[in-house]
A and B are shown apart, each in its own frame.
Chain A
Amino acid sequence: MDWSKTLVKEEINFEADKKGRKLSYAAAIREALELAMTSDERVFIMGQGVDDPVGMFGITLDLHKKYGQERVFDTPLSENALTGVAIGAAVAGMRPVYMHNRPDFLLLAMDQIVNHAAKWSYMFGGSVRAPLVIWACVGRGWGGAAQHTQTLQGLFMHIPGLRLVMPTTPYDAKGLLITGIADNNPVIILEHRWLLRQSGYVPEGLYSIPFGCGVVRRQGKDITIVAISYMVVEALGAARELEKQGIDAEVIDPRTLRPLDEAIILESVKKTGRLVVADTGWKTGGVGAEITALVAEKGFEYLKAPVRRVTTLDIPTPASDVLEAKFYTGKADIIVSCSEIMEKKVTK
């Protein structure tokens, strides 16, 4: 099966208006790895197939040729032990980047991620630390079904001691990965396959983007849409439609979920008085629940209308494309939610 066929055709360039070099999303991440490996010899890359001819969607392609098999190596599956290996190496002073083509496999490593990586600093009063990056790419479509498409950000966001990063643009993917490698804590980066073949403006050289610093992707005054990962694409599409119908939506991309840029969300809701959270994950106990609760707790007086969450259905991902279409939400659902709380009839 050719997973690449599932990628979105339409090209989305958030920073298209910015002048400068354009890179594909995968090339941007690869460049981050290359720069990090060159500038810090503690950095190494491990993961299933990172040195194979495909090179993890092209992200790690041929890096082993440049940096050697010791620093870029294939791993046995053994996800739990290999996560522990990465943590152990990190605690002993290295900077591992452990790459997975699907977050679903991280579930086998939850013991090492949650019981160990997330605890190592606090549990020892700060005398040790585990600076590692765990990178995984969420799948979607082509009958990927229940065990190859899970969006587990809700689980990871729940865990104190982890950082959780979900980039949306090539520019951010590169900068946030560099930040992650440089960070002294365990960092989980969840990418999305449908973002992976996008291209956009990516400056050369090392640059990093601070964690906990969201961006306003589109300014608006009527309603705030906080969108996560690929949902930023859908939210921007929705905002363009809503504009035609006289609704001016602001789109916020938090970029990192832990730490979360609370201020940018609260500022925006203060201005608009309305909130929709659009997440690629499940609804119950998820990212949408957390962000809406945040606003209910700290920005209740700003709200002019009930909040809404646009998420997938609370079921395992079905394989059939008919059911899958029902399972996933997107632009149309965001439009409906926005119109509901604007109390304005709009056409999808």
Chain B
Amino acid sequence: MKSIKVTSPIVFSVCRGDIPKELLREFYRTMFWIQKVELKINELYHEDEMKTPVHLCLGQEAVAAGVCLNLNANDYVFTNHRGHGHYIAKGGNIKAMVAEFYNRETGCSRGRGGSMHLVDTAVGLLGSSSIVGGGIPLATGAALASVLRKDNRVSLAFFGDAAIEEGVIYESINFAMLKKLPVVYVCENNLYSVFSHLSKRQAQDDIYRRFIGLDIPIYRVDGNNVVAVYRAAKKAIAQARDGGGPSFIECRTYRLKDHHGTGSGVEVGYRSQEEVDEWVARCPVKNYERFLLEQRLLTAVEIKQFTDAVDREVEGVFNFAHASPLPREDEVLDYLYQ
């Protein structure tokens, strides 16, 4: 497999009709929603009313959308600390998510979890772990449950490049291969773990090659290209559903904001403005919007109507969250046991 040059232009290759037009439009809508919610957090975070460490996924919208739009509502997803996009793309209740950022009782985790612990069992989001790599075996186990019940679900694990440095990924893939489990491992390689570049942490750059010895089918895609992500995920998910076992997808991407919070990383000095600018130019949403316009899959008027509507809805979501009640002090002990 040839390495992709991470700063190369994004090429969307769509043959006539091989991806339904409606789905191509849906990619955009999903990415736009994610971007909009993240931008709203970015705008309001300084108010200090969202008392939770937010890990924005601006710049990584294509991975969440491209993968999750292949899934059924009852498929399982386990995500990590940077999970807002996965939650939205999987169809999670956005009001409940934002209320969770505001630590409200109406939050998806009733204000007990915060931004890093999102859940929505109605759409197979069974929880997210902020221990790097922690969700990987959980997704593997949910896939085992599907096999035992023969219920034909697929499990997804989303994690970052640093999760590759944890032993649990190797342990999990070995077990998933052994049992041919319907699980897809999606690595969002955004090149950084907090302030540390991949080259300071891993002896070898090509993450996907790490698992060749385990015989797992591996894909490596431009994670800023929603069509490319979709195609790889589609194959991997279909194979899992057909009893063909797990796959691993490395998506090369970049987070445009700091590890957490709203900075860009340039202020702190661990990366350069040029590097950030290169990736701003590769924004998965903007580039894809241009492509849709060129291909006349959406008109400028349609986009305007849609984005205005989302703007209004997002406004409503944040107002709901803000107006929601806080958890009651006398319920602090609740939910420890069931």
A205 / chain B contacts, CB cutoff of 8 Å: none
Verify A85–B140 contact, CB threshold 8 A: yes
**A297 contacts B by Cβ under 8 Å:** no
Whether, in the assembled complex, B146 has its beta carbon less than 8 Å from a beta carbon of chain A, the answer is: yes
- A121→B338 contact, CB < 8 A: yes
The stretch of B167-175, B229-237, B301-309 that contacts the partner chain: B167-175
- Smallest CB-CB separation from B176: which chain A residue? A85
Min distance, Cβ B302 to any Cβ of chain A, angstroms:
37
Chain A residues, CB < 8 A from B107: 125
Question: Is B39 close to A, CB under 8 A?
Answer: no
Contact between chains at B171 and A91 (CB < 8 Å) = no
Asked whether, in the complex, the Cβ of B338 is within 8 Å of the Cβ of A84, the reply is: no
Across the two chains, which residue of chain A brings its CB closest to B327?
A125
Query: Which of A73-81, A223-231, A272-280 participates in binding chain B?
Result: A73-81
Interface contact A80-B137, CB-CB below 8 Å: yes
CB of A189 closer than 8 Å to a CB of B: no
Chain B interface: which of A112-120, A241-249, A260-268? Answer: A112-120
B119 near A127 (CB under 8 angstroms)?
yes
Q: Which of B112, B121, B144, B174 contacts A123 (CB 8 A)?
A: B112
Q: What residues on B are CB-neighbors of A83 within 8 Å?
A: 137
CB pair B148–A124 under 8 Å, yes or no, is: no
Give A185's nearest chain B residue, CB to CB.
B337
State whether A160 and B336 are in contact (beta carbons under 8 Å apart), knowing that A91-B127, A128-B121 are contacts in the complex.
yes
Known: A75-B175, A88-B78, A121-B336. A115 touches B134 (CB 8 A): yes
B141 touches A84 (CB 8 A): yes
Report yes or no: B335 in contact with A122, Cβ–Cβ below 8 A.
yes
Q: Is the CB of B137 within 8 A of A126?
A: no
Asked if A308 CB lies within 8 Å of chain B CBs, one says no
Contacts of B113 in A (CB 8 A): 123-125
Interface size on B, residues (CB 8 A): 44
A84, B168: Cβ atoms closer than 8 Å: yes
Q: A318 to chain B: which residues have CB within 8 Å?
A: none
A161's contact among B141, B175, B337, by CB below 8 Å, is which?
B337
**B110 sits at the interface (CB 8 A):** yes
Contact B127–A128 (Cβ < 8 Å) = yes
| Of B78, B112, B137, the contact of A112 (CB 8 Å cutoff) | B137
Chain B residues whose CB sits within 8 angstroms of the CB of A287 once the complex forms: none
B198 contacts the other chain (Cβ, under 8 Å)? no
Contact A91 B335 (CB under 8 A): no
List of A residues within 8 angstroms of B19 by Cβ: none
Shortest Cβ distance from residue B10 to the other chain A in the assembled complex, whole angstroms? 34
**A81 and B137 in contact, given A88-B142, A127-B121 (Cβ under 8 angstroms):** yes
Among A68-102, those with CB < 8 Å from B are 70-71, 75-76, 78, 80-94, 96
Given A82-B171, A92-B146, A126-B110, A121 and B141 contact (CB-CB distance below 8 Å): no
Query: Counting CB contacts under 8 A, is A14 at the interface?
Result: no
Given A84-B168, A87-B141, A88-B138: A184 in contact with B338 (beta carbons within 8 A): yes
B112 near A91 with CB under 8 A, answer no
Contacts A125-B110, A125-B111 given; indicate if A81 touches B172 (C-beta within 8 A).
yes
Contact between A116 and B148 (Cβ–Cβ < 8 Å)? no
Contacts of B112 in A (CB 8 A): 122-125
Using a CB-CB cutoff of 8 Å, which residues 312-338 of chain B contact chain A? 334-338
| Cα distance A185–B139 in the bound complex, in angstroms | 19
Check B109 for interface membership: any CB of A closer than 8 A: yes
Report the separation of the CA atoms of residues A112 and B171 in the bound assembly, to the nearest whole angstrom. 13
Contact A91 B175 (CB under 8 A): no
Once A81-B175, A87-B141, A89-B142 are accepted as A-B contacts, the answer to whether A127 and B109 lie under 8 Å apart by CB is yes
Cα(A81)–Cα(B133), bound, Å: 10
A71–B148 contact, CB under 8 A? yes
Q: Whole-angstrom distance between the alpha carbons of A107 and B145 in the complex? A: 25
CB distance from B140 to the nearest CB of A (A): 5
In the complex, besides A91-B126, A124-B127, 17 extra interface pairs with C-beta distance below 8 angstroms are A80-B168, A81-B136, A83-B137, A84-B140, A88-B155, A89-B141, A89-B144, A89-B145, A92-B141, A93-B145, A115-B134, A116-B131, A116-B138, A123-B117, A124-B335, A125-B107, A125-B111
A-B contact pairs, 22 of them (CB 8 A): A76-B171, A76-B178, A81-B137, A81-B175, A85-B140, A88-B138, A88-B145, A89-B142, A89-B144, A93-B145, A111-B168, A121-B335, A122-B112, A122-B335, A123-B109, A123-B127, A124-B109, A126-B110, A127-B109, A128-B126, A160-B336, A161-B336
Binding site for B on A (CB under 8 A): 44, 70-71, 75-76, 78, 80-94, 96, 111-112, 115-116, 120-129, 160-161, 163, 184-185
- List residues of chain B with CB under 8 Å of any chain A CB: 76, 78, 107-113, 117, 119, 121, 126-127, 129, 131, 134, 136-149, 155, 167-168, 171-172, 174-175, 178, 334-338
Q: Which 5 A-B pairs have the closest CB atoms?
A: A88-B141, A84-B137, A125-B110, A81-B171, A78-B171
